[in-house]
Structures are given as structure tokens and as C-alpha cells.
A and B are shown apart, each in its own frame.
Chain A
Amino acid sequence: MKYEPVVDKYISYLTDEAGFIQGSAERIYFPTNISEIQEILKEAYDSNIRVTISGGGTGVSGGRVPLGGWIIATDKLVSVKGGSPWKDEESGIEYSVKLSRSDTTELTVPAAMTVKAIQNYARQYNLYYPPDPTERSCFIAGNVASNASGSRSFKYGVTRDWIQALSIVTPMGEPIKLIRTGNKIGDKIIIKTETKTYNIPFPDYYQPKTRKNVAGPNIDENSELIDLFIGSGGMFGVIAEITIRLIDKPADIINMFVYCNTIDIALELVSRCRYQRDNNIQPIPLSVEYVDDRAVRIIHEKDNSVPNAKALVIIEQEFKDEMDNFLEFYLSVFDELGIEDTSVAQTYKEIEYHKFLRHLIPETINALVKSYGQSKLGTDYAVPPEHYKTIVELGIQAGNKFENEFGFDNIGYAMWSHAGDAHIHLNFLPRNDVEMHRAKELMVELLREVVKLDGTIAAEHGLGKKTFLGKPALFYQIGERGLEKIREMKLVMDPKNLLNAGNLFPVQLD
């Protein structure tokens, strides 16, 4: 099977978007179909060589960073077996995909199709793929591996909820297909391939009570077999083809920027929206996000029609015919809370522009950190919704402490959050190693609070090779025993621990 040495032009494959860890590898493979993936994995297994899977490289936890061995770059997995060609005009990439319409509409897509391309496809056919991670150049398989979520998870749940089937190659190189059937696993995880039966120990570690969680394989008795492969960072196999569920395009969507004079007003607005969802009362927003004053400033610097508000709440709402009633609802809530300034995006282009502004926040933060020669340092914590206010306040305290200790002309932190899911991204902007160390301490302090509140330390980005103060990040949530359990699960399917080694629990480096 053809491969290339990892020369300069492939250097980006040795890290990911967060850049906190730089890896190494000898070979890079670009398979184009399932049997090529099998061939590579079999050879690697026979030769005891580590293999790391690379998707779009937008991950922020070092998941795709290779620790020696070979890289399977999935970039050329653009066709599914028996698919029809479809060209994404935006990127110019030609994919092959399979659309099937019966009771439900399902689309089988190749690993390397980007979320943006899937959204473009759906739009063309008047369909809709609800998960909407902020970063849309990621590959769908990367999304499955990290069970990505986005702001619309508020209403529509996470990537997992939209995955109907997966074609996977196991760490030892056998193909399997998993389909969501409704059959729950109960207390046994048994995976059968053509030649083997894997009996995977059932996880008994702490499972947080949050709406989103990607800290380790997230399995309980209500899960199905397919769920083992979703959100487990590629530790159980290479995902090659994915069948997603699509729904009809909502008639209309609006995206509202709601400017609030105080943080309390913003938090109250968030909790009103959550009330709608939790009690299943219309209107239920698609998404509710909270953006702090520092993050607002980033947007304001790009577009000064966005005022420098104390807090910004971004609400998306879909409509069929009930637009008037829905808008009345928001208007009366805004009136009651004394909110006066709003900006409503109604057309596709306007909504895309709002999204662009929203996406500027993480992008600008990531670029700032890089310009200081540091790596991204942000929380991905979530808590049960009733503790949302507490976690926001603790986050602001930690951020202010950091800014006050070191003094900043520019911002020293920024916080934004998928507020409806009580999920905060508190990002520090350390300018040197001393500040970096302090910021990490503050993050660990906050992390302990999160666990006390029944929260998760990884709501959407996964933990990959992240460590905190010398220990794998997951340690803080599930302890040594929990880590050992995940190791046991992994070793059943990958006895030599070769595939995506180093994710979640550490490995000895050669």
C-alpha cells in the first residue's frame, strides 16, 4: 500500500488546532476506501506499529496527534460504496454520497465530508442536518469520534442523536457495520466481527448528569452497540462511512443577537428559554448562547454595529407558521427584563454573517494565544442546568482573578457558553509560562467545583491527550480506577494498544 514519509508538507498532521502537543510519525497513508484501511491496520498490527487517525485536524485536545508510528489521514475518504457523485460548489470537492428516503431520510457520507459540505448538500435538497459545531471544516467522522455538538444541541441534541449507522474498521483490520436498531445493550457490550467476538467490560465509572458529555466512552444500559464508537475518540476503530439522519428544512430560522446591560439579565433570559424546552412549551429555541463582555469586544472590533454590551445572548428560533406568536413571546420577555437592543438576522446570508461573527470569538482567542507563543487553554466544562448560574459566576471569578494578578491591557480571558446546555468555554490568554501555569491552576480549581456539581470536564471537545498538572485530564473526573476501566475496554479490541494510543490514558513513549 502506497504511503509517504512525513516530510515538511505533512507537518501540520503532527498537531491539531490547539497545538499544545507536537507529535511525530514515520509514514502517512491516504486510504481511499475500506479495504485500504484494513490493509494498513493489519500490517501495522502485525508489525507492532502505532497508528493514529487524522480527520480534519480541527480538534483541540490533541486527539489526532501521532506519538510515533503511522498516520492514517482520512482526507481522501470522500466516496461511499454505491454512492452518487455530488460536488460541493463551495469547496469544489466532489464527494459520493447515498441518499435514502423512506419513513426517515438518511444520508450515507464518507469520513472526510465536512459538516459544511453536509449542510450545503442538505440545503440543496431542502433538508436539514441539525448538529452544528461552530467549526464546520471538521470531518463528519471526526465529529462522530468526538461526538461533537453545537449551539443547536439545545433543541436537537448532539451528533450521537443523528447517527444511524457506521462502517468501521477494527484496530486489527476487520470491517464491521453497526446500525442503530433500538436494541439496548443492557449490561453487556459484545462486538462480533467475521472472525472474532469481543466481550468488552461494562463501564462503571462516574457518569455526569449533564446534557452533553464526551469524557471517555459514554455508555449506559440504554445505549446501543453503535454508541461505543461515538465519542470515543477513535479508540475502537477507524470510522469510514457514516449514515446520518436528516429532517425537513425548517420553514424559517431567525438568529437574534440580544444585548443585555447586566450579566444577571442575560442569565435570566437563558433560564427563561430553558424553561420552554424543559417543559416542552413553544417556542423552544434552537439554541441559546451566552457571550461575555470580553468576547463581545472581539466581535465589536470587527463590526462596530455590534455594541460593546455587558453580555450578549444569541437565540436561534425556527418557525413554520407560528412566527407572530413566537415573536410576541420573545418581545414580552425582553420587555419584562428591560432588554432594548436586538439585531435579528432573517435571511440565510444574514444568519451566516451572525455565525461568522460568533465564530470569530474562538478563532480570535486561538490566534491571540498562538501569537503569545502559548497553546489554547479553555474549559469545556458543563454542569447540570440548575447549576448554570453558579458555574458562570465561578468562571468569571477565576477569570478576574487571573486578569488582576497579572494586569492586562488587552483581555486576559473570555467566556462564552452554550448556555442552554450549561456548558462554558472559559478561555485564558496567558502570555508566558508563568501565566500559563497559573491559568492551569485556576482551571483545575474550577474543575474540582464542576465535578462537585455533578458536571463533566469535557462536554464537547473530548479529552484526547490533554493533561492537567501532570495527570491525564480524565483522572480528575473518574480517578485511577475509571482510567483503568477504559484501558481494559480498549485492550479487548486492541490488545497491543496501537490505534490512537495515548488518547485518554497515557502510553510509554519509545
Chain B
Amino acid sequence: MKVVTLLKVTPDTETKFQINSAGTDIAEDSSIEYIIGPYDEYGVEAAIQIKEKLGGEVISVTIGSGNEEKSIRKAMAMGVDSGILINNADLKSSDPLSIAKAIKEVVEPLNADIIICGKLATDTSDSFIGPALAALMNIPVISEISSLEVTEEGVVATRDAAGRKERFESKFPVILTADKGLNEPRYPKLPMIMKAKKKPLDKKDTAGTEIRKNVTQVKAEFPATKSAGKKITGTPDELVSELVTGLTTKEKIL
């Protein structure tokens, strides 16, 4: 089985961002810890589990801009066999379609049975790459899966939709996007961390595709902070009257 996992490296979701001086985006300073995108990490774990069950290899593919190697090595310590890293800041900040096209260019020649990625990257939250890649490659996609069974014949996956579970089957090749609940990503063992340092990582600076930027992010700002609420106390009558006064005079809702 050949499994490709798309691995985007994103700031840890706990990071306290600063906005850059131009006010257009977050500031990339050293207080940011870069990690494997949490949903991509479910994908990495799933890929390794498939290899452990059926044999084969796992290859990671990353589009990055300089902060990625540590996280890719961590995925290798978990069990990924080799990686491809396209290091190109222009590409990384281009539009999602350009990125999907670049990934197609890299992934298609690998002839993978399964391509797996996160349902979204926690920094841009586009939920776009998996389905877009499927369209570009003209192969099926099962998105937001929370369970997965793989045999030599194909995959069975389920998705948690509102109030129900949906079950899908597909033959290879197929693209899967991982949701929470799919698995618990493992913590590497020490010898694997050492081995990971020697695993092949193919670094390139371009995928050879056209980079377009049809949409430009022009501004980033923090959401307005809400002022603290007011707690009112008293008898029911007092409560009602104070609430009504508050809603009419202060909040001007009534």
C-alpha cells in the first residue's frame, strides 16, 4: 500500500499571536511554536496505521516556507518513511487553488493508493485542499472521516454528520480528509526520533506550477474584546426592573 499524507505545518493553536507592523497578518516571531496541523496529524497517524496493517510506505508532502523540517522529522519519528518539502514562500502564501495544483504536480507521479490529509489547516481553515486535489486528479474523496477501515480491496470510512453517522466505501485511489476522533496520534519512541533524522527528505524550491494570487489578505485584527457583563442581584421584581432598564437604556435593545 502506498500512502501519501499531506502535512501542513501550522502555528500551535495555543499561540498568542501578535499582529505584524503592517497590520496585514500575524507576526511570525520566535514565540510561535510550529507543529503538524492537528487534523493533518490524524492523517499521519492513520497513514502509519495502514502501513502497519498492510505493509507498504508512507510519504509526506509539505508546502512550506522555512519552519517545517522539525515537524516533518517528528512525523518521520512517528513512522512516515520519507518526505517531500517544497520550500517556497510565494507558493505558500498564494491562493489555495495554486497550492492544490502544486500538490497535484508532486503527488500524481507517486501513484499512491491513498492520499490523506486533515479536514482543514487550523491557520487558514479553508477545508479546500483535499476536495480540490480530488477534483484536479479526478479521483474520489471522502471528507471529514472519523473512522477508517482499509483492506487490500479498498476503504470503508465514516463521517459524523449532524445527528447521524454516514458510511462510505471506495476503491483505490482515494483521497481522505481526517476529522477529530479518527485516532489518537502516537508520541514517538526515542529510537524512532534518532532514525527519523536519517530518513530521506526531498527538498525542492518549486513544484514547477504557476503561482497565482487572486486574493490578497489586506488586514488582520483581533476581535473586539467584549466588555465585562454585569451581574444583577435582588428579588425577582428588582431583577426584572433592572434587566428592563439595562436592555432599554444601556443595550438599547428594547
| The residue from A124, A256, A347 contacting B12, defined by CB atoms under 8 A apart | A347
**When chains A and B are docked, how far (Å) is the Cα of A398 from the Cα of B14?**
44
**When chains A and B are docked, how far (Å) is the Cα of A123 from the Cα of B14?**
11
- The answer to whether A346 and B74 touch across the interface, beta carbons within 8 angstroms, is yes
* Cβ < 8 Å to B, chain A residues 238-258: 256-257
- The answer to whether B194 and A349 touch across the interface, beta carbons within 8 angstroms, is no
B15 to chain A, nearest CB (A): 9
Say if the beta carbon of A221 comes within 8 Å of chain B.
no
B residues near A156, Cβ cutoff 8 Å: none
* Cβ < 8 Å to A, chain B residues 179-207: 184, 186-191, 193-194, 197
- The answer to whether A328 and B190 touch across the interface, beta carbons within 8 angstroms, is no
- The answer to whether A348 and B12 touch across the interface, beta carbons within 8 angstroms, is yes
B residues near A322, Cβ cutoff 8 Å: none
- The answer to whether A327 and B187 touch across the interface, beta carbons within 8 angstroms, is no
- The answer to whether B189 and A341 touch across the interface, beta carbons within 8 angstroms, is yes
B residues near A334, Cβ cutoff 8 Å: 190
Query: Using a Cβ–Cβ cut-off of 8 Å, how many residues does chain A contribute to the interface with B?
Result: 24
B residues near A123, Cβ cutoff 8 Å: 31
- The answer to whether A350 and B197 touch across the interface, beta carbons within 8 angstroms, is no
Say if the beta carbon of A48 comes within 8 Å of chain B.
no
A residues near B30, Cβ cutoff 8 Å: 126
- The answer to whether A344 and B189 touch across the interface, beta carbons within 8 angstroms, is yes
- The answer to whether B14 and A343 touch across the interface, beta carbons within 8 angstroms, is no
- The answer to whether A89 and B16 touch across the interface, beta carbons within 8 angstroms, is yes
With A327-B193, A328-B194, A331-B194 given, is the CB distance from A349 to B35 under 8 Å?
Answer: yes
Say if the beta carbon of B169 comes within 8 Å of chain A.
no
- The answer to whether A347 and B33 touch across the interface, beta carbons within 8 angstroms, is yes
A116 to chain B, nearest CB (A): 13
With A123-B31, A305-B184 given, is the CB distance from A344 to B193 under 8 Å?
Answer: yes
Query: Using a Cβ–Cβ cut-off of 8 Å, how many residues does chain B contribute to the interface with A?
Result: 19
Q: Is the interface of B mostly helix, strand, loop or mixed?
A: loop
A121 to chain B, nearest CB (A): 10
**When chains A and B are docked, how far (Å) is the Cα of A330 from the Cα of B190?**
8
**When chains A and B are docked, how far (Å) is the Cα of A125 from the Cα of B193?**
29
**When chains A and B are docked, how far (Å) is the Cα of A331 from the Cα of B191?**
7
User: In this complex, what residue of B is CB-closest to A348?
Assistant: B33
| The residue from A125, A126, A327, A350 contacting B190, defined by CB atoms under 8 A apart | A327
* Cβ < 8 Å to B, chain A residues 406-420: none
Q: What string of 1s and 0s marks CB contacts (under 8 Å) between A117-138 and chain B? A: 0000001111000000000000
Say if the beta carbon of A342 comes within 8 Å of chain B.
yes
**When chains A and B are docked, how far (Å) is the Cα of A236 from the Cα of B104?**
71
B residues near A256, Cβ cutoff 8 Å: 190
A342 to chain B, nearest CB (A): 5
| The residue from A125, A345, A349 contacting B14, defined by CB atoms under 8 A apart | A349
- The answer to whether B194 and A327 touch across the interface, beta carbons within 8 angstroms, is yes
**When chains A and B are docked, how far (Å) is the Cα of A346 from the Cα of B186?**
12
**When chains A and B are docked, how far (Å) is the Cα of A257 from the Cα of B14?**
23
User: In this complex, what residue of A is CB-closest to B74?
Assistant: A346
B residues near A89, Cβ cutoff 8 Å: 16
**When chains A and B are docked, how far (Å) is the Cα of A449 from the Cα of B77?**
46
**When chains A and B are docked, how far (Å) is the Cα of A345 from the Cα of B164?**
35
A residues near B33, Cβ cutoff 8 Å: 347-348
Say if the beta carbon of A194 comes within 8 Å of chain B.
no
- The answer to whether B190 and A331 touch across the interface, beta carbons within 8 angstroms, is yes
* Cβ < 8 Å to A, chain B residues 77-121: 77
A residues near B12, Cβ cutoff 8 Å: 347-349
| The residue from A124, A257, A305, A330 contacting B31, defined by CB atoms under 8 A apart | A124
* Cβ < 8 Å to B, chain A residues 338-373: 341-350
User: In this complex, what residue of A is CB-closest to B29?
Assistant: A126
- The answer to whether A342 and B189 touch across the interface, beta carbons within 8 angstroms, is yes
A residues near B184, Cβ cutoff 8 Å: 305
| The residue from A125, A324, A343 contacting B197, defined by CB atoms under 8 A apart | A324
B65 to chain A, nearest CB (A): 19
- The answer to whether B187 and A345 touch across the interface, beta carbons within 8 angstroms, is yes
Q: What string of 1s and 0s marks CB contacts (under 8 Å) between B153-181 and chain A? A: 00000000000000000000000000000
User: In this complex, what residue of A is CB-closest to B16?
Assistant: A124
A330 to chain B, nearest CB (A): 6
**When chains A and B are docked, how far (Å) is the Cα of A89 from the Cα of B223?**
14
User: In this complex, what residue of B is CB-closest to A315?
Assistant: B190
A residues near B197, Cβ cutoff 8 Å: 324
User: In this complex, what residue of A is CB-closest to B188?
Assistant: A344
A251 to chain B, nearest CB (A): 10
* Cβ < 8 Å to A, chain B residues 1-46: 12, 14, 16, 30-31, 33, 35
| The residue from A124, A341, A347 contacting B35, defined by CB atoms under 8 A apart | A347
A230 to chain B, nearest CB (A): 31
A243 to chain B, nearest CB (A): 23
- The answer to whether A344 and B190 touch across the interface, beta carbons within 8 angstroms, is yes
B residues near A305, Cβ cutoff 8 Å: 184, 186
- The answer to whether A342 and B194 touch across the interface, beta carbons within 8 angstroms, is no
B residues near A257, Cβ cutoff 8 Å: 187
**When chains A and B are docked, how far (Å) is the Cα of A330 from the Cα of B194?**
11
A285 to chain B, nearest CB (A): 13
User: In this complex, what residue of B is CB-closest to A120?
Assistant: B16
User: In this complex, what residue of A is CB-closest to B189?
Assistant: A342
Q: What string of 1s and 0s marks CB contacts (under 8 Å) between B236-250 and chain A? A: 000000000000000
Residue with the greatest number of chain B CB neighbours at <10 A, chosen from A89, A257, A346, A350: A346
Q: What string of 1s and 0s marks CB contacts (under 8 Å) between A85-128 and chain B? A: 00001000000000000000000000000000000000111100
B residues near A341, Cβ cutoff 8 Å: 189
Q: What string of 1s and 0s marks CB contacts (under 8 Å) between B126-144 and chain A? A: 0000000000000000000
Q: List 21 A-B contacts (CB under 8 A).
A: A126-B30, A126-B31, A256-B190, A257-B187, A305-B184, A327-B190, A327-B193, A330-B190, A331-B191, A331-B194, A342-B190, A344-B77, A344-B187, A344-B189, A344-B190, A344-B193, A346-B74, A347-B12, A347-B33, A347-B35, A349-B35
Known: A305-B186, A327-B190, A345-B187. 10 other contacts (CB 8 A): A89-B16, A124-B31, A126-B30, A324-B194, A330-B190, A344-B77, A344-B189, A346-B188, A347-B33, A348-B12
A-B residue pairs, 7 tightest by C-beta: A343-B187, A342-B190, A342-B189, A347-B35, A124-B16, A126-B31, A344-B188
* Interface of B toward A, CB cutoff 8 Å: 12, 14, 16, 30-31, 33, 35, 74, 77, 184, 186-191, 193-194, 197
